[in-house]
Amino acid sequence: MSKALALTLGEPAGIGPDIAIAAWLKRRELNLPAFYLIGDSAFVKARASALNAPITVADIKPEDASAAFPDTLPIVKTGIATTARPGQPDDSSAPSAIASIRHAVADVIERRASAVVTNPIAKSVLYRAGFSHPGHTEFLAQLSAAVNGTVPHPVMMLWSPDLAVVPVTIHLPLRDAITQLTTDLIVRTARITVADMKSRLGIASPRIAISGLNPHAGEDGTLGPEDQSVIAPAIATLRQDGIDVRGPLPADTMFHAGARKTYDCAICMYHDQALIPIKTIAFDDGVNVTLGLPFIRTSPDHGTAFDIAGTGRANPSSLIAALRLAARMAASNT
């Protein structure tokens, strides 16, 4: 029997527990891959009761999760009691979320799980507890150093069946994103993207579209020099690598249905340039994928939604898509 996916608890006061429970309830209807939730089983039972969700849970070892999954929601303990109420993070929130992430990464590195799927965290809650990383991705990169002793350069991909995008710069103020954009960063991001699309998404020859930075891709330098001085040299280098790449392309014409058929991934220069189109096209079922790590990691493409936690209104579609994509990537990676 194949290894199960390791699903983190996320922020316990958020909708992560809700959508994990909802996904498990749909396991037979949707033929979902086996997963186990890493957290406090008493907490999960209490949340399920509050949601009137007819589930049973079982504390198991990761290697027993696939066998248990059809009949019970498998839980792997972290040893941390979780007490946060829906919408109300407490002193147990940060330790529970962090321990779940650590446990998931250890399980996949030690080959007890096939991939990591992470539920949403609340960065502000973690920061108040002394968390020193900008976010999930950077923490995962640090933890992955256990594999070969080096911290990799992680790349964020947002994926859906209709569009995949990668921002070169991520969580930066726009003025900082422009100053930190370099030819080397674009080349590194594209190389990692192409390598993982080949090895983990099963695309033999990925077609890459690279956006410009300025309106109309700079209009031959009249609307800004970066498209010619920074982005074009990166594209030339990537072509020398044998990568099928086009650009710099005007971002405002890259994302209509006809254009999307001409490439497998759009690499964009900053956060909103990439995320606005995919969240418009695939708001409910987009998946956040971290490329460049020595293990597979996917995540729902949404936040903790404190305002609806514990109400039963949380939509599990993005988590379900993340579970399916993680299983697909794990199968391609074997």
Domain with 237 in it: 162-279
Q: Which of 264, 279, 294 is the last residue of a domain?
A: 279
Q: What is the pLDDT of residues 170-188, one digit of tens each?
A: 888 999 999 999 999 999 9
| 290: helix, strand or coil | strand
For tokens 């949707």, the residue is 30
Report in angstroms the alpha-carbon separations of 311 from 17, 21, 249, 306, 314: 12, 13, 44, 10, 7
pTM (predicted TM-score)? 0.92
Q: What is the pLDDT of residue 14?
A: 97
Identify whether residues 19 and 143 lie together within a single domain.
yes
- For the chain, the helix, strand and coil percentages under 3-state DSSP, each to the nearest 5: 45, 15, 40
- Say if residue 30 is in the same domain as residue 145: yes
The verdict on 231 and 327 lying in the same domain is: no
Return the pLDDT at 150: 82
Question: Side chain identity at 298, as an amino acid letter?
Answer: T
**Section 54-64 average pLDDT:** 94
Co-location of 58 and 75 in the same domain: yes
Q: Please give the average per-residue pLDDT across 198-205, as a whole number.
A: 94
* Per-residue pLDDT tens digits for 8-53: 999 999 999 999 999 999 999 999 999 999 999 999 999 999 999 9
Query: How confident is the model at residue 1, as a pLDDT?
Result: 59
Do 146 and 292 fall into the same domain? yes
Does residue 69 register a pLDDT over 80? yes
Residue 297, pLDDT > 80, answer yes
Would you place residue 332 in the very low, low, confident or very high pLDDT band (cuts 50, 70, 90)?
A: confident
Q: CB count, 10 Å around CB of 204? A: 6
Q: In what order do the strands lie in the sheet with 265-268?
A: 57-59, 73-76, 35-38, 5-8, 116-117, 297-300, 287-291, 155-159, 164-167, 265-268, 207-211, 244-249
**Do 260 and 293 belong to one domain?**
no
Q: Is the pLDDT of residue 328 over 60?
A: yes
Fill in the DSSP letter of residue 168: S
- The CATH number covering residue 168 comes to 3.40.718.10
Rounded to an integer, the average pLDDT of 219-244 is 95
Percent of the chain with pLDDT over 90: 84
DSSP state of 88: B
Checking DSSP bridges between strand 164-167 and strand 207-211, what pairing results, if any? unpaired
Nearest-angstrom CA–CA distance, 123 and 29: 34
Burial class from Cβ neighbours inside 10 Å (0-12, 13-18, 19+) for residue 150 reads: exposed
- The reply to whether 100 and 180 lie within a common domain is no
Q: Residues 6 or more apart from 306 whose CB is under 8 A from it?
A: 13, 14, 86, 87, 89, 122
Pairwise CA distance, residues 266 & 249, whole Å: 10
| Residue 58 pLDDT class (50, 70, 90 cuts) | very high
Q: Taking all residues of the chain, what is their mean pLDDT, rounded to a whole number?
A: 94
Residues 127 and 30 occupy one common structural domain = yes
pLDDT value at residue 168: 97
Angle at which helix 232-240 crosses helix 183-199, to 10 degrees, equals: 40
Helix (H) or strand (E) holding 97: helix 93-109
Tell me: do 294 and 172 sit in the same domain: no
Q: Is the pLDDT score of 83 beyond 70?
A: yes
**pLDDT over threshold 70, residue 334:** no
The tally of domains found in the chain comes to 2
- For residue 152, what pLDDT is reported? 87
Judged against a pLDDT cut of 90, whether residue 148 lies above it is answered with no
- Residue 218: is its pLDDT beyond 90? no
At residue 172, the pLDDT reads 87
Q: Return the minimum-mean-pLDDT range out of 136-150, 165-179, 287-301, 319-333.
A: 136-150
**The pLDDT value given to residue 97:** 95
CA 50, 55, 56, 60 torsion-angle sign: negative
- Yes or no: say if 298 and 291 are a contact pair by the CB < 8 Å rule: no
How far is residue 300's CA from residue 302's CA, in Å, rounded to a whole number? 6
Confidence band (pLDDT; 50, 70, 90) for 155? very high
The whole-angstrom separation of Cα 317 and Cα 288 is: 13
Query: CA angle, 19 as apex, 16 and 22 as ends, to 5°?
Result: 150
The reply to whether 217 and 100 lie within a common domain is: no
Same domain, yes or no: 14 and 134? yes
Q: Do both 126 and 89 map to the same domain?
A: yes
